């Protein structure tokens, strides 16, 4: 160990400390970037809340069903929503059975080869997604992201926004 220290010059220590400090730069920038996004969203929510009526908590979360990128259905995800099953036929010879149970929704059954959407199971939090790629079926959960009391519609209007989303991976 003494030999290692004897090989290093004083300027080498500065370089090592600089590299270590720079390794934290992406975390710091990401933190401040998301802080700025959250602050601007809160300002937007205050402005919009004063001009529009806040949505009730029962309809603040909803699921969008898309086939080949086109919205085909929308389900309200609330405690008082009825248990419901619906079958979609995206293409000839393909089917997906969607099951809604209160505040959650899932692909109960389909005839895709890997069954990834079925293995994803229940989704119900805003930002969660269940995807059946062979059939082109996507279930997206939209709704409140903070305790502002109104529905966040920015997810549906801007798909390329830099929002952090939960990714549900099959086990």
**How much is the pLDDT for 59?**
53
Of 139, 162, 144, nearest in space to 60 by CA = 144
In this structure, is residue 37 part of a structural domain?
yes
CATH number for position 134? 2.60.320.10
Same domain, 45 and 110: no
Residue with tokens 């080498």: 12
Q: How far apart are the first and last CA of the chain?
A: 46
Residue with tokens 């992201």: 145
Same domain, 77 and 45: no
As for how many domains the chain has, the answer is 2
**How much is the pLDDT for 97?**
92
Same domain, 132 and 69: yes
- Tell me if 132 sits within 8 A of 94, measured CB to CB: no
**How much is the pLDDT for 20?**
94
Same domain, 18 and 81: no
Same domain, 39 and 65: no
**How much is the pLDDT for 165?**
56
**How much is the pLDDT for 169?**
64
**How much is the pLDDT for 152?**
46
Of 63, 61, 62, 70, nearest in space to 137 by CA = 70
Mean pLDDT by 10 residues, the chain (171 residues): 78 91 88 66 42 45 90 89 90 91 90 87 89 90 63 45 55 61
In this structure, is residue 166 part of a structural domain?
no
In this structure, is residue 164 part of a structural domain?
no
Same domain, 94 and 152: yes
Sheet holding 84-88, edge to edge: 84-88, 96-101, 104-110
What pTM, to 2 d.p., does this model score? 0.51
Residue with tokens 């730069």: 25
- Tell me if 143 sits within 8 A of 58, measured CB to CB: no
Of 71, 45, 39, 40, nearest in space to 60 by CA = 45
Tokens standing for residue 160 = 């390329």
Same domain, 31 and 14: yes
**How much is the pLDDT for 32?**
77
Give the range of the structural domain holding residue 95, as residue numbers without chain letter.
57-157
């Amino acid at each position: 160990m003494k030999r290692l220290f004897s090989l290093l010059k004083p300027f080498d220590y500065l370089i090592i400390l600089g590299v270590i400090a720079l390794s934290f730069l992406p975390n710091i920038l990401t933190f401040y970037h998301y802080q700025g996004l959250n602050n601007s969203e809160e300002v937007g929510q205050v402005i919009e809340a004063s001009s529009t009526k806040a949505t009730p908590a029962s309809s603040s979360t909803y699921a969008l069903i898309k086939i080949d990128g086109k919205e085909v259905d929308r389900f309200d995800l609330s405690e008082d929503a009825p248990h419901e099953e619906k079958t979609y036929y995206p293409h000839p010879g393909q089917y997906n059975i969607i099951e809604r149970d209160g505040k959650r929704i899932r692909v109960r059954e389909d005839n895709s080869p890997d069954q990834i959407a079925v293995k994803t199971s229940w989704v119900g939090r805003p930002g969660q997604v269940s995807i059946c790629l062979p059939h082109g079926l996507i279930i997206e959960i939209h709704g409140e992201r903070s305790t502002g009391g109104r529905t966040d519609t920015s997810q549906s209007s801007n798909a390329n926004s830099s929002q952090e989303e939960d990714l549900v991976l099959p086990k």
